[in-house]
């Protein structure tokens, strides 16, 4: 009993620090959410924290800001454009990287190490150096301003890190598993789909979070290769244009900003369990 009490009291300061950090980290998001529901005059006159003052007055909260942003502001269409961009731009590089990572980790072919070093070397190439040459190629091929062009761009920019991460993960899997599968007559494709992929779910989920958040929050690549075209503009470009057109209409800007935050929060919270999931839970025991 004394040991338990000692452990509780010794860990209490750490828990307090963690709670304080979490509180400070989430406070701006809470303020953004509350402001997005408040009318224009309330946003201009008082801070968002005043809604908690006694007497509590939550009757002023309304959905007019969201309705105006989604309809007249065009944020609803931009949200669909971001989905159209982010989902393929996440699935394509992860799929290609998974095949490449397995090949680099468990297949023997000439130049394997050299190719992998080249892939790793691409991680240090600044993205900005490739924008103008790639845009010239896109203009010649007619890919500029199209979803296909932005998919290929995000795939190219995301592949080096994806291959590097998955190769290290798949390469750390027990060699006995793959040797046993090959002795039983399994091909590389069977070993990849039946062993490597299921065991790599935590790494793939983590990579999916990073890639999706990067493509969803991207402004530079979308602005370069989509050119700010209204029909294909994602939420980042739309939000940037709204900051110029709406001026001091903070209640609309906060609603638009929170709309852009909702899906990344859902994706992160739904997949965060994979960060702590065991790599080989029960797969090689017994």
Q: What is the CATH number of the domain that holds 84?
A: 1.10.3720.10
Kindly state whether residues 140 and 58 are assigned to the same domain. Answer: no
Q: What is the pLDDT of residue 92?
A: 95
Kindly state whether residues 39 and 98 are assigned to the same domain. Answer: no
Neighbours of 122 (CB within 10 A): 15
Question: Please, which pLDDT band fits residue 32 given cuts at 50, 70 and 90?
Answer: confident
Q: What is the pLDDT of residue 158?
A: 92
CA dist 154 and 6 (Å) reads 52
Question: Please, which pLDDT band fits residue 3 given cuts at 50, 70 and 90?
Answer: low
Q: Which domain holds residue 141?
A: 67-275
Question: Please, which pLDDT band fits residue 279 given cuts at 50, 70 and 90?
Answer: very low
Kindly state whether residues 37 and 107 are assigned to the same domain. Answer: no
> Taking 70 as the threshold, does the pLDDT of residue 282 lie above it?
no
Mean predicted confidence (pLDDT) in 155-175: 90
Residue matched to tokens 């309809």: 71
Whether 106 is in a domain gets the answer yes
Checking phi first, is residue 285 left (phi over 0); if not, alpha (psi -120 to 50) or beta?
A: beta
Kindly state whether residues 237 and 259 are assigned to the same domain. Answer: yes
> Taking 90 as the threshold, does the pLDDT of residue 109 lie above it?
no
- Name the more confident of 210 and 14: 210
Kindly state whether residues 170 and 222 are assigned to the same domain. Answer: yes
Kindly state whether residues 142 and 6 are assigned to the same domain. Answer: no
Q: Specify the range with the lowest mean pLDDT, choosing from 107-116, 145-154, 167-176, 244-253.
A: 244-253
Determine the straight-line distance between the first and last CA of the chain, rounded to whole angstroms: 36
Mean pLDDT of the chain: 82
- Name the more confident of 268 and 225: 225
Kindly state whether residues 38 and 81 are assigned to the same domain. Answer: no
Kindly state whether residues 72 and 134 are assigned to the same domain. Answer: yes
Q: What is the pTM of this model?
A: 0.81
Whether 113 is in a domain gets the answer yes
- Dihedral of CA atoms 191, 193, 194, 198 in degrees, nearest 10, equals 120
Complete DSSP assignment for the chain: -HHHHHHHHHHHHHHHHHHHHHHHHHHHHHHHHHHHHS-HHHHHHS-GGGGGSSSP--TT--SHHHHHHHTTT-HHHHHHHHHHHHHHHHHHHHHHHHHHHHHHHH---TTHHHHHHHHHHGGGS-THHHHHHHHHHHHHHT-TTSHHHHHHHHHHHHHHHHHHHHHHHHHTS-HHHHHHHHHTT--HHHHIIIIIHHHTHHHHHHHHHHHHHHHHH--HHHHHHHTT-GGG--HHHHHHHHHHHSTT-HHHHHHHHHHHHHHHHHHHHHHGGGGTS-SSTTTS--
Whether 284 is in a domain gets the answer no
Whether 282 is in a domain gets the answer no
Q: What is the pLDDT of residue 149?
A: 92
Whether 280 is in a domain gets the answer no
**b/e map 40-64, b = 16+ CB within 10 Å:** eebbeeeebeebeeeeeeeeeeeee
Kindly state whether residues 110 and 37 are assigned to the same domain. Answer: no
Kindly state whether residues 35 and 133 are assigned to the same domain. Answer: no
Mean predicted confidence (pLDDT) in 265-271: 80
Mean predicted confidence (pLDDT) in 80-94: 94
Whether 109 is in a domain gets the answer yes
Q: What is the pLDDT of residue 83?
A: 93
Q: Which of 62, 78, 113 is the last residue of a domain?
A: 62
> Taking 50 as the threshold, does the pLDDT of residue 98 lie above it?
yes
Whether 169 is in a domain gets the answer yes
Q: What is the pLDDT of residue 58?
A: 57
Checking phi first, is residue 145 left (phi over 0); if not, alpha (psi -120 to 50) or beta?
A: left
Question: Please, which pLDDT band fits residue 16 given cuts at 50, 70 and 90?
Answer: confident
Complete DSSP assignment for 146-190: SHHHHHHHHHHHHHHHHHHHHHHHHHTS-HHHHHHHHHTT--HHH
Q: Which of 17, 41, 62 is the last residue of a domain?
A: 62
Kindly state whether residues 177 and 233 are assigned to the same domain. Answer: yes
Kindly state whether residues 82 and 202 are assigned to the same domain. Answer: yes
Whether 142 is in a domain gets the answer yes
Neighbours of 114 (CB within 10 A): 9
Q: What is the pLDDT of residue 70?
A: 82
> Taking 60 as the threshold, does the pLDDT of residue 285 lie above it?
no
Instruction: Let me know if 16 is exposed, middle or buried by CB neighbors in 10 A (0-12, 13-18, 19+).
Output: exposed
Count how many domains the chain has.
2
Q: What is the pLDDT of residue 251?
A: 76
Q: Which of 10, 29, 62 is the last residue of a domain?
A: 62
- Name the more confident of 280 and 51: 51
């Amino acid at each position: 009993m004394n040991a338990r009490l000692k452990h509780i009291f010794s860990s209490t300061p750490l828990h307090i620090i963690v709670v304080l950090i979490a509180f400070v980290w989430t406070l701006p998001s809470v303020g953004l959410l509350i402001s997005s529901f408040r009318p224009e005059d309330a946003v201009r006159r008082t801070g968002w924290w005043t809604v908690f003052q006694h007497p509590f007055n939550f009757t002023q909260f309304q959905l007019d800001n969201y309705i105006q942003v989604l309809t007249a502001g065009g944020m609803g269409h931009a949200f669909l454009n971001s989905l159209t961009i982010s989902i393929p731009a996440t699935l394509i590089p992860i799929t290609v990287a998974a095949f490449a990572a397995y090949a680099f980790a468990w297949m023997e072919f000439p130049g394997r190490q050299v190719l992998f070093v080249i892939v790793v070397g691409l991680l240090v190439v600044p993205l900005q150096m490739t924008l103008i040459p790639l845009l010239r190629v896109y203009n010649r091929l007619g890919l500029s301003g199209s979803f296909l062009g932005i998919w290929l761009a995000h795939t190219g920019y995301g592949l080096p890190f994806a291959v590097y991460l998955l190769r290290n993960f798949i390469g750390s899997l027990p060699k006995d598993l793959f040797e046993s599968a090959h002795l039983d007559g399994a091909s590389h494709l069977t070993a990849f789909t039946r062993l490597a992929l299921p065991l790599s779910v935590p790494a793939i989920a983590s990579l999916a979070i990073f890639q999706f958040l990067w493509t969803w929050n991207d402004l530079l690549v979308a602005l370069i290769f989509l050119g700010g075209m209204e029909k294909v503009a994602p939420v980042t470009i739309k939000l940037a244009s709204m900051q110029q057109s709406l001026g001091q209409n903070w209640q609309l800007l906060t609603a638009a900003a929170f709309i852009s935050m909702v899906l990344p929060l859902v994706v992160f919270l739904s997949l965060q369990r994979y960060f702590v999931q065991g790599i080989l839970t029960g797969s090689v025991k017994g």
